[in-house]
Structure 1
Amino acid sequence: MRQTMPNPVKIGSTYYLRLHVPRDVVELARGKSAPVHVAEHTSFPKMTSHVKVSLRTKDRGEARRRFSEVLSDLEERWDALRQGTVKLSHRQTLALAGEVRSDFIRFLDENPGEVAMWDDVALADAQAVTGTANPLAVPTPHTRERDMEKRFGGLVDAALSRRALEVDEASRRKLIEQVAAAMQDVSRINIAKAQGDYSESDETTRYPEFNSPREPAKRSVEAEPRTTLSDTIAREVERRASGQQSKPLPDKSVDKYQKVARNFVAFRGNELVATITAREADKWQQYLLASGKLSNSSVRQRLQNLRSIVEWARKQSFGELFPQGNPLDLVQLTERNGVSSEDRTLRMDEAKSILQAARLEGKPELRWLPWLCAYSGARVEEVAQLTPSDFFQYEGDWFYRMTTKGGKSLKNAYGIRRVPVDPLLIEEGLMRFTASHQSRHKERLFVKRAGQNVSDWVRNTVGLDRDELAPNHGWRHLFEDVAMSAGVSDSAKTYITGRATGRSAESYGKSDVMLPGLAREIRKVPSLLQARHSTSAER
């Protein structure tokens, strides 16, 4: 079985990196820290059998980018443990001590603190150097070593950890000595700054630049030059299906990406992702356009789908595949003449024709999906997933749940909502229809191909053959126009339609208390078959 690529995990509202420490270094790493950089922050998480780091973001896309960077830092630390201890040269020891000095002076440059504080620091440092930190103890080499470790050991650990170094004991002792000397400089310069003398800064020629005592090891996570387009799609499918609250890639989307991969491979004769170039993808685009079998819009979509697959491959390799960026980003996609929202929207006479024809149909999807879309603005794919158990009553009004539970899918998080059933649908007999299926309350009310069946029916049976018309999606635009004209509040309209825009939409549907308000708003929507002259209160 292929190993699942590691991913950020969400704890509360924040994403984290949480990984097992590799088995070959877990005992060496236990109790030690690892310097990691997250955005503008540096932290030093302790390692046990696991390591856990906050990625400091609630956005999944940003979390995945930061995850890759933090993992790179951890890999460097683990590589250092694998290679064992190294011996620092005199030059390298001085360079590390110089970095400690520079940090203290640079970070405190704006506010160096009080003179008295630095006098205390200088005194404590001097006592450690002489082994007299405990005034009651007789100074000996042992007390000095103990005091130096206690006073400067933490600074040494941080300096080594930042460089992902494991050093031998002799190198560590020498570094403690040099850090102690550097901290004398720190106290002297900061005392001067506290007194108003900024003639000295962290700039100095005393300390050399640091050169690593060893070459960095190869990362354990590497781009796989033999990775294929099929491999990449399979990994993405597996990733999205992982976890208790996963959102699997829909089967139709998997088929779409696999078809694009097959067509591109047939054109180029090679399935390896690493060999894909922008020039080659552009040639494929020109070939598809020249064949005349696809619209510009369809060709454009195929290139976008191929670009998505390549981007998955980049992320699965943590950027080691195509480190300079997705090569398909350089391909100029074919232009297309767009269809305006107005042209895609159902006209009132078309809406009446569909709803009246639906009354005569026996197939559930043809009878009810047009009506459900007409009085909610929902996407047909959403309402086509409804089950009898999705319908419920609250304070006398009927609602239905749009949810991702039970294997259902929605376009985005805004799609999760509770939609009020317009009383007109109840008059049409919708609730009698759902009640007749209560014995199979968790089974879908409509067949899987319901949306396409309705679209074909509108075109071929109802006879609405206007090219620009979107037979199903046109309800979405029409509902929004009708709701606006009827005075439905923007926040209610945004929530009911499951739009990803509209900041005030968050005030609707978050608790049962808000449901009656939604029901009142839906009652404002007039009949699409005949004008209503009664007020919303009378209804």
Structure 2
Amino acid sequence: MAFTSQRRDSSNWRFRQRVPVDVLGKVRGRRIIISFPSTGREPPFTVETTIGTEVSFSTRTPDKNVHEARSLVAQTHLAKIYAAARTEPVKLSSRTLTALSKDIYDLFLATHGDDPGPVRRWEAFKGFSRAAMEGRIQDAPELVPGSEPDEAAAAEARFGPGLTQGIDALPASDSTAALEQRFGRLANWLLAERGIELLPEQRPLLLKLTAMAAIQAGRQLKKHAAYDFSPDPEISRFPTFEPPSEAGGSHRTLTDVFERWRKETHPSASTVSTWRGVVASLKRHLGHEVVGRITHEDIVRWKDRLVDAGLSRKTISHNHLAAIKALLNFEIQNKRLAVNPAAGIKMGVKRRAGQRMRPYTDNEVARILALAARETSPAQRWLPWLAALSGARIGEVAQLWGQRITMEDGIAVMVIRPAEDGGSLKNEWSERTVPIHPAIIEAGFLDFVRQHGSGPLFYRRSSGDPSKKHASKGVTNRLAAWIREQGFTDPRKAPNHALRHWFVTMGQRLHINDSVIEAIIGHEEGSEYRHGHTQTLYEAIIKIPVPVETGNQNQTVGGGSLGCPAPTRHGREPPA
């Protein structure tokens, strides 16, 4: 867990995190560098610190939101270091190390590519780097990720006015002292970013490849300094990096993970359809779907693209981010992934005033029920009434079977549970028994059930295939479209769900106990030890009035119903 603090002499926030005990012995004393991208108007920067019993440093901002964003970057970086420390050091092929070194090239281009400064800077940068790599010098200026190397004066003092000739005049050797001094921090940063613990004997090769990537970046930046921004003709020498599974990565694809998760958890067909689309979206954005190659920054850029595409905050948060986080956590639980790159990533904009979903007014509910009363389609005739006078989700009552309309303690009830032919509910709290409002009984609902039989009331029997959407889903979609067609077009009132909002709001207006309302509507905030008693729930439901149309949109309607007699306790008997 990370902690937030401030020193008395500074308004800037500090990041603090205790080091896990199981890796403390391996990482204590290690010098690490963490690179932070730009956040809002804050420029990118790097922090260098030493791991002790805790990691602590200033995030260089008094803004709490910026601090929290940088804390997430730091936690992700440290999690990779700890995950690597928990594994045995790995040996990587020359191809993999070369691919890995491209991160150094990318770092310099990302940091300096747009404004590289004078040409002399990059000539000196390349000169020191080559001299260190070829062992022509025994010491060299250190390079730190994100720093601004300006070594022109030092290079001229060291090698003379003719830089290339001065370096070539020095004898080459096998010494790696200057190589380690100049590129050691870059190499450490590189391994930490990728979460890799490398065999010690491979470090000289990693340092050489780091130097080669830096020199290549220096050549390209020299071109940029001369206003030549043409592509690097040698960029193709870097192969695609494939992370080793031993280092906490995963070669499995998102599709593989999704299918395994689906087989183990048996989600609803609608969830399968939605999540499959989310996986496809991230795959298109990345250009691949290898789990071990996905980074924290990849997920952030994907989220930003979804925002730019106009998706709502709720859709991105509850569908896209939630799905990918769950799938990657599934990999972690199965010991195939060490760090979830989507962890901690949230939508940065809170819901604004004017966006919260609203209930129908009494007058709107009256109009919908009046329209429904004139319909012959069973779904359009009964589902609005069942939803409005019970607070049930349309998807719950659309799955009703005749055999689940029964009597309990002398009260007509509907038993809400997943449809017998493969339906599903939102969660465990959704399964419940709800008394049927007397106005619905007086309108002839039990006669309808008796005539329809024991099977599905509002749809033809579904296939039962869990990979396909249940047939009741089409019923709810068509009902929503029908309500919209009747003129209920307020975007802040979901055509079906605003009836549930109205029921809860009416219960509040009538001072019905919150726990009773929660039990009726199947909301999970109720205690798992508290179960709704049928008589108690019935006494609450009969208080809910059936609104009648008036000229006043805000008029509160009392008891009674649309042409129905006063409610009776039992109504007619449902079919046996």
What SS does the aligned partner of 2:492 have? coil
Structure-2 change in CA distance of 1:483 and 1:237 (3 Å): same
- Residue 380 of structure 1 aligns to which amino acid in structure 2? I
2:537 to 491, 506, 518: 518
Cα offset for 1:532?
Answer: 2.5
Distance 1:487 1:264 in 2: 47
1:476 equivalent to 2:517? Answer no
Which residue in the other structure is 1:425 paired with?
440
Distance 1:310 1:466 in 2: 37
1:401 to 415, 419, 424: 415
Distance 1:452 1:311 in 2: 32
Cα offset for 1:502?
Answer: 3.3
The list of structure 1 runs, each at least 4 consecutive aligned residues, that deviate by more than 4 angstroms after superposition, is 220-224, 338-343, 533-539
- Residue 455 of structure 2 aligns to which amino acid in structure 1? K
Q: Please say if residues 492 and 508 of structure 1, whose CA atoms lie closer than 8 Å, have aligned partners that are also in contact.
A: no
Aligned 1:297-376 pairs, distance under 5 A? 297-300=314-317, 301-317=319-335, 320-321=336-337, 323=338, 325-338=339-352, 343-376=357-390
Cα offset for 1:484?
Answer: 3.0
Q: String of CA shifts for 1:231-278, please: whole Å, max 9, x gaps.
A: 1111111112xxxxxxx3011111111111112111211111111111
Alignment coverage as a number of residue pairs: 300
1:231 to 231, 256, 273: 256
Distance 1:314 1:353 in 2: 52
Which residue in the other structure is 1:497 paired with?
521
1:281 equivalent to 2:299? Answer yes
Any unmatched runs of 5+ in structure 1? 1-219, 241-247
- Residue 299 of structure 1 aligns to which amino acid in structure 2? I
Which residue in the other structure is 1:411 paired with?
426
Distance 2:279 2:480 in 1: 28
Q: Name the TM-score, length of structure 2 as normaliser.
A: 0.48
Which residue in the other structure is 1:265 paired with?
283
1:467 equivalent to 2:491? Answer yes
Cα offset for 1:429?
Answer: 1.5
Distance 2:510 2:306 in 1: 46
1:488 equivalent to 2:512? Answer yes
- Residue 237 of structure 1 aligns to which amino acid in structure 2? R
Which residue in the other structure is 2:128 paired with?
none
- Residue 531 of structure 1 aligns to which amino acid in structure 2? G
Distance 1:282 1:454 in 2: 37
Q: String of CA shifts for 1:84-110, please: whole Å, max 9, x gaps.
A: xxxxxxxxxxxxxxxxxxxxxxxxxxx
Q: String of CA shifts for 1:101-123, please: whole Å, max 9, x gaps.
A: xxxxxxxxxxxxxxxxxxxxxxx
Distance 1:425 1:380 in 2: 16
Any unmatched runs of 5+ in structure 2? 1-244, 460-471, 549-556, 571-576
Which residue in the other structure is 1:458 paired with?
483
Distance 2:346 2:249 in 1: 28
Cα offset for 1:396?
Answer: 3.4
Structure-2 change in CA distance of 1:413 and 1:295 (3 Å): closer
Cα offset for 1:483?
Answer: 2.1
Distance 1:221 1:442 in 2: 54
- Residue 308 of structure 1 aligns to which amino acid in structure 2? A
- Indicate the percent of aligned positions where both proteins have the same amino acid: 26
What SS does the aligned partner of 1:370 have? helix
Cα offset for 1:417?
Answer: 1.0
- Residue 457 of structure 1 aligns to which amino acid in structure 2? W
1:251 equivalent to 2:241? Answer no
What SS does the aligned partner of 1:392 have? strand
Q: Name the TM-score, length of structure 1 as normaliser.
A: 0.51
Aligned 1:26-37 pairs, distance under 5 A? none
- Residue 558 of structure 2 aligns to which amino acid in structure 1? A
Cα offset for 1:487?
Answer: 4.3
Cα offset for 1:330?
Answer: 4.2
Q: Please say if residues 379 and 476 of structure 1, whose CA atoms lie closer than 8 Å, have aligned partners that are also in contact.
A: yes
What SS does the aligned partner of 1:448 have? helix
Q: Please say if residues 395 and 516 of structure 1, whose CA atoms lie closer than 8 Å, have aligned partners that are also in contact.
A: yes
Between stretches 441-450 and 395-404, larger displacement belongs to 441-450
Q: Please say if residues 400 and 419 of structure 2, whose CA atoms lie closer than 8 Å, have aligned partners that are also in contact.
A: no
Q: Please say if residues 480 and 493 of structure 1, whose CA atoms lie closer than 8 Å, have aligned partners that are also in contact.
A: yes
Cα offset for 1:386?
Answer: 0.7
Distance 2:353 2:401 in 1: 34
Distance 1:475 1:333 in 2: 28
Which residue in the other structure is 2:99 paired with?
none
What SS does the aligned partner of 1:418 have? strand
Aligned 1:171-182 pairs, distance under 5 A? none
Q: Please say if residues 488 and 522 of structure 1, whose CA atoms lie closer than 8 Å, have aligned partners that are also in contact.
A: no
- Residue 448 of structure 1 aligns to which amino acid in structure 2? K
Aligned 1:182-201 pairs, distance under 5 A? none
Structure-2 change in CA distance of 1:354 and 1:221 (3 Å): farther
Cα offset for 1:478?
Answer: 1.2
